[in-house]
Chains A and B, each alone.
Chain A
Amino acid sequence: MRLLNLFKIAFKAIVVNKTRTLLTMLGIIIGVASVIAMLAIGEGSKESIRTTISSMGSNMITIKPGADSRGPARGSGGDVQTLTLENYEVIKAQATLLSYITPVVNGGGQVINGSYNWPSSIYGVNPSYLNIKAVGLKSGSMFTDAEVQSASKVAVIGQTVVDNVFPDGQDPIGQMIRFNNIPFKVIGVLEEKGENTFGQDQDDVVIAPYTTVQKRILAIDHLNQVVASAVSEADAPEAVTQVTEILRTEHKLMDTEEDDFSVQSMEELISTFSSTSEMLTILLVAVASISLLIGGIGIMNIMYVSVKERTKEIGLRMAVGGKGSDILMQFLIEAILISITGGFLGVILGLGSTEFIEKFLNWPTSVALYSIVISFAVCAVTGIFFGWYPARKASALDPITALRYE
């Protein structure tokens, strides 16, 4: 028997039972649509995390002093003074996989310009900082290495600071501001970066030579951080290892001792945050998959009822020459047609609802092609899997019994 005829027969049976077919399909439609939408939401948030973190400089490596493990009381990571300028110099001299490196000292305080003031943070760095953070200047210029050497009182400020201490629209370049009563000359304004993923305003900063900040503001010798950038994103993990080894040697740590510092690449930060959203995605998709499975069971249920209900019809088909394989194929095709049509409508609904979520709920979404392919494949397989058993049952019927079935 020609396959086309079988398709005709199966299609006919579906059309004859419109309402029932539609209701059966509904399970599959909702299942497929929710898998696609959930994956789109998951992918979307993962992507937005990656973009924001990357915007902070994707090759960036942060070196922080770790909790001091010597002595009975442990302080928090920032309090210890194990990271020194000498450490920075050694890393700078020995690490081959770093393209830029800067010491970082930071503190909070009040920015004052005449009658305006604003609480902000000051970062003492060297000129490489801008390259590492992948941020440019909106106007003016960055301070030079010479200004770092001479501990000049110059500063580059972020847009939020500009907005708050120069509210009259005055050009801040060349103006004097005071940070904790130390006067600084504004020589540049940073490009706006906005809030990062963690809600921190990246434009609310004052950047000055680290020497100045160390001496004039914080009055310290040690460093709060050293940030560097790896030569490429791919080299970042290798660079982390390299820096770790240099610092261990420098800190004279025995093999048995733990690091008294921490070295972290952006990649690690991304994966830490992505893993949270990934967990959520997996959870959402698991729930969506269950609804797809239930849709599949719905197909099996309907096909099973359909076989029972049409026992006499099956008997007749056999009496007029339908072979067992013909009957099997008929019911299998019927199940597959239902699931594939349902899958197709589900993809449309899934894309539609993703669009809706993006437009009206302002959730970042990103439809992955693989989610469409997978959910469609899953529903086709579901059709075959759940259609097989009832179809098999139908084909194994004895024509005499089937014909007499009431």
Chain B
Amino acid sequence: MKKDIIKIEELKREFVMGTETVHALRGISFNIKEGEFVTIMGSSGSGKSTLLNILGCLDQPTLGTYEIDGLKVKDLSRNELATIRNEKIGFIFQSYNLLPRTSALENVELPLLYNSKVTNRERKERAVKALEMVGLGDRMDHTASQLSGGQQQRVAIARSLVNNPVMILADEATGNLDTRNSYEIMSIFQELNSKGITIAFVTHEPDIAAFSSRTIVLKDGHIIKDFKNQKVQSAADELAKLPKEDYQL
């Protein structure tokens, strides 16, 4: 029996806008076990961004409980949340969010700079290892502008891995990429997942969801579907099926 990385019970999030109260999440419950690859789907306004913010400890629920790796998140201070983000979660964003004019290596080192337990030497070693893991061992000195979109996202993945998080949280990580690059990124995720890393992937593209082992679908602040994917596609295989060049001059 694998342990639960994430435990959510009756989670509600309400925003007060003037006199109106917006119910972004109306009481949802689910658990994510260690080693799962979950996609969270839903159209805009379904509450998926709100859920993501709460999962990422950037926001706190109005009601209900959220536990990450055995830690109750409710009522933690801003600083305590920052520490959880630093030590337990790896973030990946749609727009990569790399620091401009900064080398790939330094970008990957960033989360460890905020962790005083990591020495300078260890930080560099871990960053190099993470970059090698995503296949960018030879581009460590390149700055963001010298890398393609797919490569930038791989740097971002390396950055999310470097602090050995209990879970990687990806927000539309393939949203800005073409099919080929999307599949490449998904194959990296699958590879990481096969090594036991838990991944929560927010997307609205059904074909991306096909690469994950479980899908949770949100609508109007409720979970309307939560199912195991019986036939997980291999992103590497799909990538091989794509024509050699997407366009020919």
A residues near B (Cβ < 8 Å) are: 1-2, 5, 8-9, 12, 16, 312-313, 315-326, 399-400, 403
Contact = CB atoms under 8 A, between A and B. Distances in A.
Interface of B: 53, 56, 58-59, 78-79, 82-83, 85-87, 91, 93, 97, 99-102, 106, 110-111, 113-116, 159, 163
Contacts of A2: 116
Given A321-B114, A400-B58, A16 B82 contact: no
Sorted nearest first, the 5 A-B pairs with minimum C-beta distance are A321-B86, A320-B111, A321-B114, A323-B82, A316-B97
Interface of chain A, main secondary structure: helix
B47 to A, nearest CB: 14
Nearest to A313: B99
Given A319-B91, A322-B82, A1 B97 contact: no
Nearest to B160: A320
13 contacts: A5-B113, A8-B113, A12-B102, A16-B100, A313-B97, A320-B85, A320-B110, A320-B159, A321-B85, A321-B115, A324-B82, A399-B58, A403-B97
A312 B86 CA distance: 17
A325 B58 contact: no
A320 B89 CA distance: 8
A318 B114 CA distance: 10
Given A321-B114, A400-B59, A403-B93, A16 B78 contact: no
Contact of B85 (A12, A319, A324): A319
A330 to B, nearest CB: 10
A403 B85 CA distance: 14
Contacts of B163: 320-321
Contacts of A8: 113
Contacts of B114: 1, 5, 317, 320-323, 326
Contacts of B78: 323-324
A403 to B, nearest CB: 7
Contact of B82 (A12, A313, A315, A318): A318
Nearest to A4: B120
B124 to A, nearest CB: 12
A324 B81 CA distance: 11
A319 B79 CA distance: 12
Given A320-B111, A400-B59, 16 more contacts: A1-B114, A1-B115, A2-B116, A16-B100, A312-B97, A313-B99, A318-B58, A319-B56, A319-B58, A319-B85, A320-B86, A325-B79, A326-B114, A400-B58, A403-B58, A403-B93
A350 B115 CA distance: 42
Contacts of B82: 318, 321-324
B88 to A, nearest CB: 10
A319 B93 CA distance: 10
